[in-house]
Amino acid sequence: MSDKKMINLTIDGQKAAVPAGTTVMQAADGIGIHIPRLCFHPKLSTAGACRVCVVEIDGQKNFPVSCATAAAEGMNVKTNTPAIREARRDIVELILDNHPRDCQICEKNEDCDLQELANLFGIRDLRFDGERKRYSTDFSSPAIMRDPEKCILCGKCVRVCSEIQGVNALSYSHRGFKSTVVPAYNMGIKDSVCIACGQCTLFCPTGALMERDNTEEVFKNLADPEKFCAVQIAPAVRVAVGEGFGYAPGTDLTYEIVTALRMLGFKAVFDTQFSADLTIIEEGHELIDRIKNKGKLPMFTSCSPGWIKYCEHFHPEFLANLSTCKSPQQMMGALIKTYYSDKSGVPASKMYSVSVMPCTAKKFECSRDEMDSSGFRDVDVVLTTRELIRMIKQAGIKFNELKKGQFDDPLGESTGAAPIFGVTGGVMEAALRTAYEVITKKQLPAIELKAVRGLDGIREASVDVDGLQVNVAVVFSLSNVHKLLTEIKEGKRHYHFIEVMTCPGGCIGGGGQPYPQGITDPLDHTLYNMRGEGLYSIDEKKALRKSHENPLIAKIYKEFLKEPLGHMSHKLLHTHYHARCPEGIPTEVREKNVNV
Amino acid sequence: MAVKCLEIKGREVREKFKEIESFINTEHKLNDNQGMLMGVLHKTQEVFGYLPPEAMDMVSDRLGIPTAHIYGMASFYNYFTLKPRAKYQIFMCKGTACYVAGGGRVLEKLQETLGIGLGDMTPDHMFGLNITRCLGCCGLSPVMQINDDIYVRMGPEKVNAILDKYRKKETKKKKASR
């Protein structure tokens, strides 16, 4: 930065010196002035769509938007004059005029950027009352719902879907008053190329894009005396639930959550971390098998359901490279309705299996047709971290005063390799800890593989396993995945094993995680680091830190599964994938619209 | 964004696709993908008469531009239509000059002869009837446009002969293709 030309400007009477190319908004941020904003996000391209960040600049007739105006030498910027305050208030009022006024019954109440701005600007009455857009809500997808009436056209969802995830499921359509953000051909989200990652739900400033709410369904089943409700919780959930109750991100509240789940009425509380350990055994053996028997390489991890759907949509040529292992959630689901059902004597038909995930795509995953190898749905319903927080609050549980609880046997014990599944690089680290020792029969020299940690989108490492150089890569965000896959196809990169996470930072940045509070934005590295550190510290505190050392894993193989990649494993823990054609463009839409 | 599962039935459609593809190939020499999108959509509408999803899929595939964004552009501009449209679009000018010169009577005659209202299409998809505001030649009013042809100093008595011209053109085409 030092070799860049410095620009001197004045903002609200304060002098500021910034490198050339800095925007007025950034310059103001640097000297302690926060200009209000709605459509701006530091990690996305600049749209200048909402106009909320207007400022006054001497010599300019109109009020330019500070997010898209470059600082210039000698500029005199005013961000807080009566005229600017009035302009901003009018802008927000005009947005409100075309927005449903149902804050009291909106799920996004108190988490809504628009509501916050209206409050901040002191808007106490609405002077504009015109025609309001009317659309029906799209409930087609099991994961994401879209309410175009609440959409304020800021375009953050369009940009995150395109720039971060490279999926491009959404775009603006039509114009003027009729503008909406829709999937191609105005089709339902279910039929579009959407991979259900839910990043859009984190970015949406209002309630236009949210997860499908399954809390009522779960409450109903919990109250049903005929049902035996079992629940599992994912690693990343335990370091994020606290954010809904005033704890700092990354606070480990595993055992408080267990107590809360029991108070909600769950009869059995299991830990997805147990099946994460199991995944490592199965996936590790699959990798060893592929390397030894010249199977299809590189092998990709398969725990992230958004990535699986993305691969099925956009890169079916890599389907054979996906590990056939089900995700830990689905493995646990299958075991609850077989192994645990046998042990407890509760028939699987009476079981209602719930999982709490940091993820919206898991809602889609549990609804996949093939996920019923136990003879029943592996998992009946998925709740996001946000939904769990709502349920705990609704049930009147004083979360901050809870005593610690314990997971149920025999699916509740896990090693330190499991919690790190929730952070990018963690599955790779866990897999290498086990694969190294299984292959070499020697103790791993250093248990923490720092090379695969961090928040760079694509990371690679090479591990010496008994003379064999195993090349691995870790990648998150599907735009990075696309880049990596393209380079693999071009022969520029060669790997044995690749960990893919759909969401930035891994599951800790999942689409079902709590909305970032205060000034933290989604994609904020500080937030991810805090949640990630929470998971790494759980790992550090465990006496056993390698999946194959988990005594319950040894037990389940002895009693039930027999051997890794064996007959029982194949039936319950592995799955298959299929190209989803046409690429999110439904046949019925095609047949209806074309007279050919 | 490939369209691997697209089944293009029938020779006629395959040929239309080929025509658009060869247009893309010539454009490639002059323009980048994003830059040529507008032109390619124009061409597609010219070939199909409207923008069918299959054609947009194909354009998406060839240009590497996501379908959602192509749909966004197609729905933005008034010129593009997402529904099948009549082969011959009649635009009768209802601007002030044309109206004063008797354009209204021509419009009545058109509605009566075709048996359709404004914005509608004849059952054989032959004619569609719309109004427009000023085609920029008020001195020659009343003015009517059919696709790219302009008819000036219109009167109700000219309507039948003009429509017949297009009907004959179509019969000829049909005979030739047999």
Residue A362 falls in the annotated catalytic set = yes
Judged by a CB distance cut-off of 8 A, whether residue A596 touches chain B is yes
From the list A156, A362, A363, A546, the catalytic residue is A362
**Options A216, A370, A487, A583, the catalytic residue:** A370
Active-site annotation holds for A323: yes
Q: Which residue has the tokens 């996000």?
A: A41
A219, A230, A244 from A225: Cα distances, Å = 12, 13, 30
Residue A182 at interface with chain B, using a CB cutoff of 8 Å: yes
Angle at A536 between CA A533 and CA A542, to 5 degrees: 140
Check A112, A303, A325, A366 and give the catalytic one.
Answer: A303
Q: What angle do CA B84, A176, B93 make, to 5 degrees?
A: 55
- Of A66, A275, A304, A323, catalytic: A323
| Residue A450 burial (10 A CB sphere; 0-12, 13-18, 19+) | exposed
Is the entire prediction scored with pTM above 0.90? no
Query: Which residues of chain A neighbour B52 with C-beta distances below 8 Å?
Result: 593-594, 596
Q: Is A500 helix (H, G, I), strand (E, B) or coil?
A: strand
Catalytic residue among A211, A286, A437, A499: A286
Instruction: Provide, as residue numbers in chain B, all residues whose Cβ is less than 8 Å from the Cβ of A593.
Output: 52-53
A322: tokens are 């996906």
Q: Single out the residue of A362, A121, A97, A100 nearest to residue A207, CA to CA.
A: A100
- Tens-binned pLDDT, residue by residue, of chain A (596 aa): 456 789 999 999 999 999 999 999 999 999 999 999 999 999 999 999 999 999 999 999 899 999 999 999 999 999 999 999 999 999 999 999 999 989 999 999 989 999 999 999 999 988 888 899 999 999 999 999 999 999 999 999 999 999 999 999 999 999 999 999 999 999 999 989 999 999 999 999 999 999 999 999 999 999 999 999 999 999 999 999 999 999 999 999 999 999 999 999 999 999 999 999 999 999 999 999 999 899 999 999 999 999 999 998 888 889 999 999 999 999 999 999 999 999 999 999 999 999 999 999 999 999 999 999 889 999 999 999 999 999 999 999 999 999 999 999 899 999 999 999 999 999 999 999 999 898 888 888 888 888 889 999 999 999 888 888 899 999 999 999 999 999 999 999 999 999 999 999 999 999 999 999 876 788 889 999 999 999 999 999 999 999 999 999 999 999 999 999 999 999 999 999 988 764 444 444 444 333 32
Looking at beta carbons, which residues of chain B come within 8 Å of A174?
75-76
DSSP states of A31-60 as a string? TT-----SS--TTS-----S-TTB-EETT-
User: How far is it, in rounded angstroms, from Cα A238 to Cα A272?
Assistant: 11
Chain B residues lying within 8 Å of A596, measured CB to CB = 8-10, 12-13, 52, 54
Q: What is the DSSP string of A151-172?
A: -----HHHHIIIIIS-----EE
3-state secondary structure (DSSP) of residue A76: strand
Contact A174 B2 (CB under 8 A): no
Rounded CA-CA distance B140/B137 in Å is 6
Place of tokens 């039936």: A571
* ipTM surpasses cut 0.95: no
A594 by Cβ neighbours in 10 Å (0-12 / 13-18 / 19+) ranks as middle
d(CA B55, CA A533): 50
Q: Provide, as residue numbers in chain B, all residues whose Cβ is less than 8 Å from the Cβ of A185.
A: 53, 56, 67, 71
- B75 touching chain A per CB within 8 A: yes
Residue B7 neighbours by CB under 8 Å, 6+ apart? none
The residue of B20, B65, B69, B121 whose CB has the most chain A CBs within 10 angstroms, and thus the best one to mutate to test that interface, is: B69
Amino acid at A409: D
At A576, the amino acid letter reads H
Tell me the two tokens of residue B163: 């429509």
Chain A CB within 8 Å of residue B57 CB: yes
Q: Are strands A14-19 and A171-173 parallel, antiparallel or unpaired?
A: unpaired
Q: Is B67 on the interface with A (CB under 8 A)?
A: yes
Interface check A582 vs B, CB under 8 A: yes
CA dihedral A504, A506, A508, A510 (to 10 degrees): 60
Chain B touched by A570 (CB under 8 Å): no
Nearest CA-CA partner of A109 in B120, A353, A100? A100
Q: Which residues contact A584 (CB under 8 A, 6 or more apart)?
A: A169, A183, A184, A191, A192, A193, A194, A313
Instruction: State the Cα–Cα distance between residues A551 and A413, nearest whole angstrom.
Output: 8
A 286-325: CB under 8 A from B: 314
Tokens of B80: 């593009």
Q: Name the residue of chain A whose CA is nearest to B61's CA.
A: A583
Note the helical H segments in B29-135.
Answer: 33-48, 53-63, 67-76, 96-98, 104-114
Neighbouring C-beta atoms of residue A339, cutoff 10 Å:
19
| Beta-carbon count within 10 A of B168 CB | 10
Minimal Cα–Cα distance from A158 to chain B, Å?
10
3-state secondary structure of A453: coil
Residue A370 annotated among the catalytic residues of the structure: yes
